[in-house]
Structure 1
Amino acid sequence: MSPCQSCGACCATYRVSFPRFELDDMPGGAVPEALVESAGAQLVCMRGTGAAPARCVALRGSIGQSVSCAIYEFRPSACRDFAPLAAVGRGDEACNDARRRHGLAPLVPVAA
């Protein structure tokens, strides 16, 4: 099992912002429009991530135990690009910072 499936800290720490063209009401878009809110003229963010404490509306489960994304196949680029090696146990600075904020041990650091 990927460390991400028992973590979810990134989804409950950071604002998940991305371009409007990724929404499912746009040609080629896939992120459900009902799950976002405006974050500027050309940006939206996942509901729940624009305020403190942050928690993405698509996050299911308990942080640090067992989590999943309700829209995994349709998740925005910000999620697809975040900590690309975390799934194999290697955490970058943002990943490990989110884990620390939720009382979780850091993953093996990615070499700079």
Structure 2
Amino acid sequence: MSACTSCGACCASFRVDFSVFETQERGGSVPDGLVVEVTSSTRRMRGTDHTPPRCAALTGKIGATIACGIYEWRPSPCREFAEGSDACNRARNRHGLAALEGF
């Protein structure tokens, strides 16, 4: 089992901005109801600009059992986020989780 299926720290640590072309409205797959406009060309996952951030598509408890409600349709920053990366370990640290090693 991947740490990503039980962690979710990244989904509750960072803003998630992406191209408007990734939204359903513009031919992409990210559901329009889960995005907010940043600029005419950029959208953000709803909830990721809150303090503390938490993506509106995230369900469950950080560090226990989590799920992404739009996993198949998630935006590129989420697809590209690397398990065990420096950013991953910073997010895990923010939520009191041990760093992942060996990635």
TM-score (normalizing by structure 1): 0.88
Which whole-Å deviations, capped at 9, do the CAs of 1:62-98 have from their partners, x for residues lacking one?
0000001000000000100011xx2xxxx11100000
Provide structure 2 residue ranges, at least 5 long, that are not aligned to the other structure: none
Correspondences of 1:1-112 after superposition (within 5 Å): 1-27=1-27, 29-83=28-82, 86=83, 91-108=84-101, 110=103
Structure 1, unaligned runs of 5 or more: none
Deviation string, structure 1 residues 38-78 (Cα, Å, up to 9, x no partner): 12221110000012100000001000000010000000001
Q: Please say if residues 93 and 109 of structure 1, whose CA atoms lie closer than 8 Å, have aligned partners that are also in contact.
A: no
The number of residues matched between the two structures is: 103
2: distance between equivalents of 1:50 and 1:40?
14
User: Moved runs in structure 1, 4+ residues, more than 2 A?
Assistant: none
SS of equivalent residue, structure 1 residue 37: strand
Kindly report the root-mean-square deviation, in angstroms, between the aligned alpha carbons of the 2 structures.
1.0
**Is the strand fraction higher in 1 or 2?**
1
Distance 1:11 1:105, change over 3 A: same
CA distance in 1, matches of 2:102, 2:12: 20
What SS does structure 2 have at the residue aligned with 1:95? helix
Q: Distance in 1 between matches of 2:61 and 2:38?
A: 26
Task: Write the distance in 2 (CA, Å) between the matches of 1:56 and 1:25.
Answer: 20
